Structure 1
Amino acid sequence: MGNVLSLDVDVLPCMAAKLGMTIEQITAYAGDDFRELLVGAKTAEKFWKGFNRHFGTDVREDLLITCFHPANDKRMERLIIDLKAVGHRVVCGTNAFEKHYRYHLERGEYAAFDRVYASNLLGIAKPSPVFFQYVLGQEGWQARDTFFIDDRAANVAVARELGMRSFLYESPMSFPALQAWLADEKVLPAGAAGP
């Protein structure tokens, strides 16, 4: 979802600016905590309580959501619609903080998908092979017959190791390459999903 369909999802620059810290300071502290947030093992409130204790700050708002202002890529939405129109089932496997998941859900931003598998609800996150195996099992899919698109190389690498046909979507500039890949794989006709 993030950086593939949903753009501008990186909250760290905004958080760093509001906190007067570097991104590196935040991620050095939050490494495992971010993972715990992604799998629903920790609430944002507990995260900020620990953050304040660690840094001696008094953050009272959840900057993870205050700084979250994504927008869906209309080309990618059209691509999902086109995939479904030719008979493909399209699901979203996303690593999501609880409040980010709710944000997208409340705004209907998951509506293009047939189903959403969110890490915060599953208790597992990409790139764990268990995440992929869970989705494949729930869908009744074989890895070799499954196409996976993601913005993180580690996630794509694990999907490939499991036998999924995978594409690293590095930025919206990758869209034409994604279209070409899907055409080469005979998933969609060449030129589908617009420019």
Structure 2
Amino acid sequence: MAKTDWEGHDISGQTHSGVTFTDLDCTEVVNRGATFTDCTFQRSTFNCSVHTDAAFVNCTFTGCSFFDTRFTECKFVGSNFDRCTFDLMQVVGGNWSHVGLSGADLTRAIVRGTRLREADFSRVRCQEGSIRDADLSGADFDGADFTDCDLRGSDVSTLDPARVRLKGAIIDLQQALSLVQAMGLDVRAD
């Protein structure tokens, strides 16, 4: 188990596998290309940190803070988040497939152009959030709240409108057709 203070450090290129980090302070960390595999982060702080082309594969995050954290083209495949906070977090691109975000509060998070195939979005709260141009194919949306969320360009083909909140959600025409068909309506041109 590692208790470390990396506040303000450049951790680019580091490699960690199977390490448990407790109370790790990554505030304002710069990370280009570091790799974490099968690691556990407990009560760790990633506030105001910037991560580019980094990998957190099959990692577990419990009680962590991601306030104003930026992830660009990062890989989080198979990682799980439990009781974490994501205020003002920004995710651009990258592969977050099979990620567990069940019950997460993403109301002030911005996600754009990210692959989130088969991610667990059950009971996620995204009111007034933004998940644009994301590959959400096969994702679990059961009980999610997308009230006033900007979903334009994202794959919502597995979203069941009867099992999520969508009031005021911003969608494009293709998504509207997909949701109407999911509701069992027969759409005809004339």
TM tier relative to shorter chain: under 0.3
**TM-score when scaled to structure 1?**
0.22
**TM-score when scaled to structure 2?**
0.22
Which structure is higher in RCO with an 8 Å CA cutoff and minimum separation 6?
A: 1
Structure ranking higher in helix proportion: 1
